[in-house]
Structure 1
Amino acid sequence: MEKDYKKYVLIGSIPLFFITLLCLYLTTEGPPQSECSEGVWNNCNFTKPAEEWSAAAKRFGGESGVVDLVVAQAHESNLTYLPFPFEQRENIYSYSQTDQVEPYLKKFDEDGLKVILSIQPNGADIPELIDIILSKYGHHESIIGVNIDIEWKLTGEPYHVSDDERDLWLSRIQRYNPEFKLFLTYFKDYTYFPGDAQDIIILYDGDKATQDLLMREYEKLASHYTSVGIYTGYSSSTPPTASYESIIAAAPNTEYILHIV
């Protein structure tokens, strides 16, 4: 009887062993995922009321949705145009006699949204543009940082950002608020961007391809950085919008998803 009892205990322990393994599998955390914020991209479009942009950001991101708002837009002849009154400087022009940005930021403040101020520098000096924009709008509670779209970077080595430029721009931005982050946007691989660093976010702006290809390219880029994000919703992509699940599967470190609307 003692021998049979031992056999029973051994056999009975087998399912218990597998149950334990199953419990461990189910309770083990997977790869850490960043908290992801969703919102919209506004390419210097002040024809729609601020309420419409706010509602669009909330539709994607809830009460803390994001608006990526272009406030310095690239134009022909290496010029950058500003949507508020400004005395002309080399490569920097104003195209508006009224401040078109301020009413939007006030609305976004009221609605508790997050705002990225985007700059398309062209031939303008980037630290100078940062100062112009943040000295005017840096006090708004909604602002979380400044994005440099390096597709329009024509100063220094075009389209590439060095570690020195990264540090200079981030330092200049954080003079206005030490919590501000530096965002950098482009559609090429990681060699166009600086090395990874705290308080920088790399945004991928790919289009004109299938979403499978875009996700593969985004995955490669994201693997080199701690914090990343992506623009999606281009009519030239197939399908136009990548799903949330496919984006997170490609890059679990995605912190921002910005929709083209």
Structure 2
Amino acid sequence: MMNPVQPSSPSKIKSSGVRSSAYGIKPFPQPEEWAKAMKIMAGYFPNSTPIAVWGIGEIIFDGTNSGMKMGFPNPNNKYDNDNGRIRFSDEDEYEKYLSYFDSQGIKVFLQVEPGYADIKLLIDATFKQYGHHSCAIGFGIDVEWYQSECDSCKNQPVTDELAKDWEETVKSYNPNYKLFLKHYDKYQLPPTYRGDLIFINDSQGFANYDGFLNEMIDFANQFPLNPVMFQIGYDAVENNETGKTDKFWWERLPKPIPQTMGRDLAQRCSNPEVGVIWVDFTLREVVPI
């Protein structure tokens, strides 16, 4: 049984919520369940906005033809398939979710896992399909899968020029939109360009909680003037020293666990804004939905 929630004191945590993916949680929650989870997460941190990092498809691995399977049909049949690197679905898998979020005060970043697909085509198709939603506040790129040829292959790092170009493209649809770039390795992200970007760390495989906190804050310090988010709650990669996953140490933290981790991160973080995102793989273990 979860302990009663004790709201955190006002902090720099401005957004709190979940990561959604096509492969991370089974069965896939209904719109009301997702909204409940995000509102519970936001309730841990006063005045934070309930938010989703919402995957709108997933990567398809095929060497240098790796690309993105989009969870919606080809908008107006306008887009070519970028030599097979962009594949559209027969039905829209996410419209009912985003429509519900519009009515609930929830905000959403629409995220891609691009492979070698043309990023600008992905941005354009995404906002042609979902740009009418008031919940949509921006676009996200999981850089771990940028020009990655296989599940265990390395990605290409994001240059300053690419980051600036992508951000300008996103903002051409709405100047208030934000672009986030996500990776567990700060050196895969633009070395000097900062713009209006948000940076997300999704590292996992730590020996203990202190190691986790140190790594996350080291990442945040690379981008001291920008908002950062921490995507947490993994139970997959085993640490080389302990042979255990992160769940071994995070499940022993004081409950509610997301609140404990968010508070500790925010207290150590000098960035102007912080976001806490619980990954969907273990969401039902920490949030009653």
- TM-score > 0.5, shorter chain as reference: yes
Are 1:74 and 2:59 an aligned pair?
yes
Alpha-carbon offset, residue 186 of structure 1:
0.3
* Matching residue of 1:250: 268
Q: 1:214 to 1:193 in 2, by over 3 A?
A: same
Alpha-carbon offset, residue 168 of structure 1:
0.7
SS in 2 for 1:65: strand
State which of 181, 184, 195 in structure 2 corresponds to 1:184.
181
Output aligned runs, 1:175-254, within 5 Å.
175-188=172-185, 190-194=186-190, 195-209=192-206, 210-225=208-223, 226=225, 227-235=227-235, 236-237=245-246, 238-239=249-250, 243-253=261-271, 254=273
**Structure number having the greater helix percentage:** 1
Output aligned runs, 1:45-64, within 5 Å.
47-62=28-43, 64=49
> 1:159 & 1:183 partners in 2: Cα distance?
17
| Aligned Cα root-mean-square deviation (Å) | 2.2
Alpha-carbon offset, residue 248 of structure 1:
1.0
**Do 2:12 and 2:266's aligned partners in 1 also have CA atoms closer than 8 Å?**
no
Percent identity, aligned pairs only, is 27
* Matching residue of 1:133: 126
AA at the equivalent of 1:186: H
AA at the equivalent of 2:202: D
Give deviations 1:220-253, integer Å, cap 9, x for gaps: 1111212211011112313256612221133142
State which of 105, 108, 115 in structure 2 corresponds to 1:112.
105
* Matching residue of 2:6: none
**More RCO (CA 8 Å, sep 6+):** 2
**Do 1:148 and 1:185's aligned partners in 2 also have CA atoms closer than 8 Å?**
yes
Are 1:121 and 2:114 an aligned pair?
yes
Alpha-carbon offset, residue 118 of structure 1:
0.6
Which runs of 5 or more residues in structure 2 are unaligned?
Answer: 1-9, 149-153, 236-244, 252-256, 284-289
Alpha-carbon offset, residue 154 of structure 1:
0.3
SS in 2 for 1:165: helix
* Matching residue of 2:91: 98
> 1:44 & 1:85 partners in 2: Cα distance?
16
* Matching residue of 1:42: 20
> 2:145 & 2:121 partners in 1: Cα distance?
15
> 1:166 & 1:145 partners in 2: Cα distance?
14
TM-score (norm 1): 0.80
Alpha-carbon offset, residue 47 of structure 1:
3.1
Count residues in correspondence: 227
TM-score (norm 2): 0.73
Alpha-carbon offset, residue 169 of structure 1:
0.5
> 1:61 & 1:34 partners in 2: Cα distance?
13
- Name the larger-Rg structure: 1
AA at the equivalent of 1:39: G
Q: 1:257 to 1:141 in 2, by over 3 A?
A: same
